[in-house]
Structure 1
Amino acid sequence: MIKIAPSILSADFSKLGEDVKKLEMCNADVVHIDVMDGMFVPNISFGIPVIKSIRNITKLPFDVHLMIEEPGRYIEDFVKAGADIITVHYEADRHIDRTINYIKSFGVKAAIALNPGTPVSVLKDIIPSLDMVLIMSVNPGFGGQKYISYASKKIKEVNELKEEYNKNLIIEVDGGIDVHNIKEVVQSGAEYIVAGSAVFKNGNIEENINNLKEAAK
């Protein structure tokens, strides 16, 4: 069963709390929170105070995706803010093994994200320690981009590593996923689908999520 993780980067920021509340009532499974620092990616989004402010609004798990330099410096702060899963980029951390273990020491799930140009092979040694791998199917930093077709091959490669080294691993995919390509993404091995504009467009959150789940079958 796939899980839809709406990215609140595409929510209406003027009524963010209201949109987050709606997600729980509209069959969403996870809240995906993109944290951007303007250095690892060119954009800046939101940080710890915003996450704290919406934590009490919903019981849905918070999947906090850190698109920031030196993420290891902020892990404890994001845990205290309410993160259930913390995702750091392989490309942003020189000491990735240490950071994975540090995340897990707080009792939350540890995930690694790979940019489109980073090969799956870099995960081989650390995948037994991971709870989730996030394959970026667009270049991170902006919403509304087109799905990069070779991401499907990378999802399959992660799935092979999962079968060999860590059968409990969750495979998540983020970027350019909509009703037209979600089936291909799921058939490649994805279980968590991050969707921003595909969920929040036109304000029809429940209908959009149900359409995604139906198209994935």
Structure 2
Amino acid sequence: MKKVAISIHAAEDFNPKIIEGLQGFDFIHIDVMDGVFVNTINKNLEVFQLLEKRYKKPIIAHLMVNNPLEYFEQIYKFIDIFVFHIEIEGDKQRIIEEVKNKNKKVGIAINPDTKISEILPFLNKIDLVLIMSVQPGWSGQKFITKVLDKISFLLTLKRKNKLNFLIDIDGGVNPENAKFINSDILSSASAILKAEDPNFIIQSLRHAYDLTK
């Protein structure tokens, strides 16, 4: 059974009631975008405190920004896992250490076209790998199936080296393609939030992979 994260954007016009009444999900996944690393801008950091207080669910902060530590200081009290992108410039080890120093978990996100070898030096230091299955920046894109190879590679690596990081996948995830996704966490936005029966979709995501076995 997979864990499910509801993915939302830290938009200026964010309405916290968007997830009111939803049940059976495990995480709230909040996307922050600086308009530089990706073209879209969504950096209303008040969303973190608002959702943490209102829903009491673990929060994954996904920073699609060039300078993630600039945002970390403002949100760390309200989050559980802080995720930055391997594609950014700068000292990744320093970011990991700064997050760990605040007793928070840390993850690294990797875009569909980035080689998995880029994150290998950090796998024994992090708690989560977030595999992007769409190009970062906006919701509603089609799932890129080639990223499933990244999951298979990471699962093998985890077993061989007895590593403990979780694997999360984000982008275009729905109950149909979830049948083929052997990650620990499924992050989904449109499939849940635009559904007539979002709670049914959450449960479908949770059990889709297991039902194929």
Structure 1 length-normalised TM:
0.90
| Number of positions where the alignment pairs a residue of Structure 1 with one of Structure 2 | 209
Structure 1 stretches of 4+ with a deviation exceeding 3 A read none
Aligned to 1:140: 136
**Compared CA separation, residues 204 and 9, structure 1 to 2 (3 A):** farther
Confirm or deny: 8 A CA contact 1:86 1:109 kept in the other structure: yes
Gaps in structure 2 of 5+ consecutive residues: none
**Compared CA separation, residues 168 and 20, structure 1 to 2 (3 A):** same
Of 154, 159, 171, 1:158 maps to: 154
Q: Which amino acid aligns with 2:152?
A: K
Tell me by how many angstroms 1:155 deviates: 1.1
Identity between Structure 1 and Structure 2 (%): 34
Confirm or deny: 8 A CA contact 1:71 1:93 kept in the other structure: no
Moved more, 68-77 or 102-111: 68-77
Q: Which amino acid aligns with 2:18?
A: D
Confirm or deny: 8 A CA contact 2:2 2:205 kept in the other structure: no
**Compared CA separation, residues 104 and 166, structure 1 to 2 (3 A):** farther
Tell me by how many angstroms 1:166 deviates: 4.7
1:32 aligned to 2:29? Answer: yes
Structure 2 length-normalised TM:
0.91
SS in 1 for 2:207: helix
**Per-residue deviation, residues 135-177 of structure 1 (Å, max 9, x unmatched):** 1011000101111111000111122222233532100000111
RMSD: 1.8
Tell me how far apart the structure 2 counterparts of residues 137 and 208 of structure 1 sit (CA, whole Å). Answer: 19
Tell me by how many angstroms 1:98 deviates: 1.0
Aligned to 2:113: 117
Matches within 5 A, 1:59-208: 59-80=56-77, 82-186=78-182, 190-208=183-201
Aligned to 2:5: 5
Tell me how far apart the structure 1 counterparts of residues 94 and 161 of structure 2 sit (CA, whole Å). Answer: 19
SS in 2 for 1:32: strand
Confirm or deny: 8 A CA contact 1:183 1:215 kept in the other structure: yes
Tell me by how many angstroms 1:93 deviates: 3.8
**Compared CA separation, residues 58 and 166, structure 1 to 2 (3 A):** farther
Q: Which amino acid aligns with 1:19?
A: I
Confirm or deny: 8 A CA contact 2:130 2:169 kept in the other structure: yes
Moved more, 40-49 or 202-211: 202-211
Gaps in structure 1 of 5+ consecutive residues: none
Aligned to 1:210: 203
Q: Which amino acid aligns with 1:215?
A: A
Q: Which amino acid aligns with 2:70?
A: R
Confirm or deny: 8 A CA contact 1:21 1:57 kept in the other structure: no
Tell me by how many angstroms 1:9 deviates: 3.3
